[in-house]
Structure 1
C-alpha cells in the first residue's frame, strides 16, 4: 500500500446522512452501513487531499476547543481506511512507528476529545429484505417470493420457481 500523508475521503458510491453527533454512511458497493462518531466524522470531513495529520489535528482543535493529538487523527484515518471510506489504497503510517495498540493507550489516557469510532454492519440486499420467510411458505403465496424459496404445499413440490411451487 502507498503511504500518503494527505488522505482523501471517498465519496463515490456512498449515501451520507448527517445527524447530531454522528454521520451515517451507506456504501452502495459493499452494502455496508457505518456510523461515524463525531470525532471520526470530523476527521473524515477534513480528509480533502490537501490536509495532512498535523493540519487535521489543528482543524479539530478549533472545532472541539480542546487539544487533539496527531495520534488521535491517525487512529481515525486508520479506521476510515479499513472501512473503505478513503480513496483506494491510501494509508498513513503510524506516528513514530508506534503500534495501533500503543497509540490507543497513549491517546486514551490524554484525550479530552472522544476516541474516533466507526461501527459498521452488513445490510441485506433489497431482494433478500422482503417479507418472504426463510421457512416454507403456504401454498398460493409463492408468487410474492423469490425463486428458490421453500414451499409448503402438496407432497412433491419443494421450491418456488417462476411464481409456482414445483
Structure 2
C-alpha cells in the first residue's frame, strides 16, 4: 500500500519481529520472512519514531535534535524507503511531488557526507539443515559423519 497524503504518518511493523536494541544500532529478526536486519543509528531513530502518530516532518525534527545539526528531509525519505523495502514499516510513504526513489548515491551528491545516511542491512537466515553443515569439521572418532562423508579425517 502507498500513502501519498501530505501528512504521512508512517507506522513501524512490530508483529512477528524480534528486536534487540544496541547502543548504536538495532537488530531486527523477521520471524515470518526468516530475515535479519541491522539498522544503523539513523535508520533506527527513524524506525523508532514510525508510530503512526509522528509525521515525516516530526521524524526529521527528532533526527535533527539527535544529530544536533541541520539534516535534509531527503535523509528521512531515504530511510523510510529502506525500511519499507525491508518490510519494517506497514505502508510505503512517498514524498509528494517526487517521482522515483532517491538513492544513497543521489543523497550523497545532494547533501554530502556530513550526516549519517540511514542504512538497513539485511540477510536471509539459513535453514536449520544449512546451519548444521558439517563441511570441514574433523570426523568424530569411530562414529562417522552422519549425513556427510568422512574423507582424510574431515567431514565433507
Could you tell me the TM-score, scaled by structure 1's length? 0.73
> Would you say the 8 A contact 2:134–2:148 is kept in 1?
no
Matching residue of 1:126: 128
User: In 2 relative to 1, CA 140–31 (structure 1 residues): closer, same or farther, beyond 3 Å?
Assistant: same
SS at match of 1:97: coil
The CA deviation at 1:106 is 4.6
Matching residue of 1:96: 97
SS at match of 2:97: helix
Instruction: Spell out the pairing of 1:33-52 with structure 2 (5 A cutoff).
Output: 33-52=36-55
Unpaired stretches in structure 2, ≥5 consecutive residues: 151-156
> Would you say the 8 A contact 2:19–2:27 is kept in 1?
yes
The CA deviation at 1:95 is 4.5
Deviations 1:46-100 (A, max 9, x none): 000001111100111111111122221111011100001112xx01113431432
Write the distance in 1 (CA, Å) between the matches of 2:25 and 2:99. Answer: 28
Larger RCO (CA within 8 A; separation ≥ 6): 2
SS at match of 1:96: coil
Q: Please state if 1:70 is matched with 2:87.
A: no
Aligned length: 145
List, as ranges, runs of 4+ consecutive aligned residues in structure 1 with deviation greater than 6 Å: none
SS at match of 1:12: coil
User: In 2 relative to 1, CA 29–19 (structure 1 residues): closer, same or farther, beyond 3 Å?
Assistant: same
CA RMSD of aligned residues (A): 2.8
User: In 2 relative to 1, CA 84–140 (structure 1 residues): closer, same or farther, beyond 3 Å?
Assistant: same
Unpaired stretches in structure 1, ≥5 consecutive residues: 153-166
Instruction: Spell out the pairing of 1:9-158 with structure 2 (5 A cutoff).
Output: 9-87=12-90, 90-101=91-102, 105-106=106-107, 108-110=109-111, 112-133=114-135, 141=144, 149=147
The CA deviation at 1:104 is 5.2
The CA deviation at 1:19 is 1.9
